[in-house]
Chains A and B, each alone.
Chain A
Amino acid sequence: MLAIATAVFVVVMLLLLGALFRPRSAQRDARPGQGDSALGESGETLFVVVGGLAVPALVLAGMTILTARTLGAIAASPAPALTVEVIGHLWWWEVRYPAQELTTANEIHIPVGQPVEVRLSSPDVIHSLWVPQLMGKMDLVPGQENVLTLQADHAGAYRGQCAEYCGLQHSRMAFLVVAEPPEAFAGWLRAQAQPAVQPTDAFLAQGAQAFAREGCIGCHVIRYGTGPVGTAVGPDLTHVGSRRTLAAGTLPNTLGHMAGWIGNPQALKAGNYMPTLPLAPDSLRALAAYLESLE
């Protein structure tokens, strides 16, 4: 592509230089009515027909054939081994692995070097998925499913961002694509499939009780072996401690940030749908410690 562009650039520049440095005598000698071309009238017509019609027609026809072939190859490629559903919410990302029956949030884990099918949808307004290092933007449109193929050739965490203005906290609606070697990815899937375990530690147990008592269950769910506790309105918290960020890429996931986020989410991400609850100091500390322990 760069070679073609360079060739076109060189030809255009040569023509320009030719026009600039044409001897003035050639212009003076040109008779009125014959134009000032050294080619003569018939030569000029031929130049326009060949350079302006024939060559572009050939180039465009060639490109059309190449495009059709590539599109055909894409359509014929085998179904990707992995499908991920990404659902854009105000202002976070729900990430589902339907075949594995997994749900997480704000982190899309994929195996390195493999094409992954990502199905995009939105229950509220239009969002747009954008990972600048891996792909162009694709919208998440209510009432429609858009599909893209995502592939990362190098392991790493790639930051993504909502790229369609969607309201107050649009700018703090980020996520990570975590590309891992296939074995590490399989390990992550296994770990995420595990249910949460009721803690034995007294302090953490206090946190688990606070989760059920203080209203968190109105919007969040933790899946225990004995069944889910809570409601899946906001992010699934079964393995929240394993994630790298909180509040959709807004904060690093550490105990301090977790406590501050639970304690007053409106101060950190004003207008988001997580209310600032009147928590007792003990409950706040226990809750933060418990959620951090859910890895």
Chain B
Amino acid sequence: MQLARRPAVVAESRSRIGERVRSKHVGRWERCVGVVVSVTLLSACAPGLGRLVPGLGAPLPVQPVPGGSPQRGALELRQYGCGACHAIPGVPGARGAVGPPLAGFAGRAIVAGSLPNTPENLVRWIRDPQGIAPGTAMPNLGVSVADARDIAAYLYTLR
């Protein structure tokens, strides 16, 4: 079929070629618009897609810490001096650089380098670092269970 149409293309008059050139330009323009529209639509659908496919683009579930208050946790992080070793967003003066920064802590998979980042493990780690990772530089600051829960609740607000 293509072979059959070729002679016709060759035989086109100048004006027709001009028309084709113009229509080619229009085609490019339309393509651009099409790309923009489709990208916009796709990105608008992305959150919905994320919801359809578990774990894709969906926000991490908030880790509930029973009895923990993030507001109190922020104060306690300051009082215990956690910020002297860790940079912690939202805690005044917490600009320490001995241990890892805690920004994005809620999205971290492992705590203490060895345990899944669950509220129970985090509370254990805060209260008794040596018990979980002997030799760690993180000191035991004598944090009560209630305070450790508050601190954990605050850390899980850090996305």
Query: Which residues in A have some Cβ–Cβ distance to B below 8 Å?
Result: 251-252, 254-261, 263-264, 266-268, 281-282, 284-285, 288-289
Q: How far is the CA of A108 from the CA of B85 in the complex (A)?
A: 28
Q: Choose one: A264, A281, A282, A285; the contact of B96 (CB below 8 Å).
A: A264
Answer whether A259 and B84 are a contact pair too, CB < 8 Å, given A268-B95, A268-B96.
yes
Contact A255 B141 (CB under 8 A): yes
Which residue of chain B has its CB nearest to the CB of A286? Answer: B139
The secondary structure that dominates the A interface is helix
Q: How far is the CA of A255 from the CA of B139 in the complex (A)?
A: 8
Q: Which segment, of B36-44, B50-58, B75-83, B116-124, faces chain A?
A: B75-83
- Say if the beta carbon of B98 comes within 8 Å of chain A: yes
Contacts of B136 in A (CB 8 A): 281
Which residue of chain B has its CB nearest to the CB of A246? Answer: B84
Contacts of B141 in A (CB 8 A): 254-256
Contact A260 B83 (CB under 8 A): yes
Contact A256 B80 (CB under 8 A): yes
Contacts of B93 in A (CB 8 A): 251
Query: Which residues in B have some Cβ–Cβ distance to A below 8 Å?
Result: 79-85, 93, 95-98, 135-137, 139, 141-142
Contact B139 A259 (CB under 8 A): yes
Contacts of A289 in B (CB 8 A): 139
Contact A285 B137 (CB under 8 A): yes
Contact B81 A256 (CB under 8 A): yes
Which residue of chain A has its CB nearest to the CB of B136? Answer: A281
**How far apart are A286's CB and chain B's nearest CB, in angstroms?**
10
Answer whether A267 and B98 are a contact pair too, CB < 8 Å, given A257-B81, A260-B84.
yes
**How far apart are A241's CB and chain B's nearest CB, in angstroms?**
14
Answer whether A259 and B85 are a contact pair too, CB < 8 Å, given A254-B79, A267-B98.
yes
Q: How far is the CA of A252 from the CA of B82 in the complex (A)?
A: 12
Q: Choose one: B85, B95, B97, B135; the contact of A256 (CB below 8 Å).
A: B85
Q: How far is the CA of A260 from the CA of B139 in the complex (A)?
A: 10
Contact A254 B85 (CB under 8 A): no
Show 5 residue pairs from A and B whose CB-CB distance is below 8 angstroms, ordered by the A residue.
A251-B93, A254-B80, A254-B141, A260-B81, A281-B135
Contacts of B80 in A (CB 8 A): 254, 256
Contacts of B85 in A (CB 8 A): 256, 259-260, 263-264
Contact A255 B95 (CB under 8 A): no
**How far apart are B127's CB and chain A's nearest CB, in angstroms?**
13
**How far apart are A271's CB and chain B's nearest CB, in angstroms?**
14
Answer whether A259 and B98 are a contact pair too, CB < 8 Å, given A282-B135, A285-B139.
yes
**How far apart are A255's CB and chain B's nearest CB, in angstroms?**
6
Contacts of A267 in B (CB 8 A): 95-98
Q: How far is the CA of A252 from the CA of B98 in the complex (A)?
A: 17
Apart from A254-B141, A255-B141, 12 more pairs, CB < 8 Å:
A254-B79, A256-B80, A256-B81, A257-B81, A259-B98, A259-B139, A260-B81, A260-B83, A263-B96, A268-B84, A281-B137, A285-B139
Contact B98 A263 (CB under 8 A): yes
Contacts of A282 in B (CB 8 A): 135, 137
Contact A264 B81 (CB under 8 A): no
Q: Choose one: B84, B95, B137, B142; the contact of A257 (CB below 8 Å).
A: B84
Answer whether A284 and B81 are a contact pair too, CB < 8 Å, given A264-B96, A268-B96.
no
Contact B137 A256 (CB under 8 A): no
Q: How far is the CA of A260 from the CA of B96 in the complex (A)?
A: 7
Which residue of chain A has its CB nearest to the CB of B82? Answer: A256
Q: How far is the CA of A255 from the CA of B136 in the complex (A)?
A: 16
Contacts of B79 in A (CB 8 A): 252, 254
Q: How far is the CA of A258 from the CA of B80 in the complex (A)?
A: 10
Contacts of B98 in A (CB 8 A): 259-260, 263-264, 267, 284
Answer whether A288 and B135 are a contact pair too, CB < 8 Å, given A254-B80, A267-B95.
no
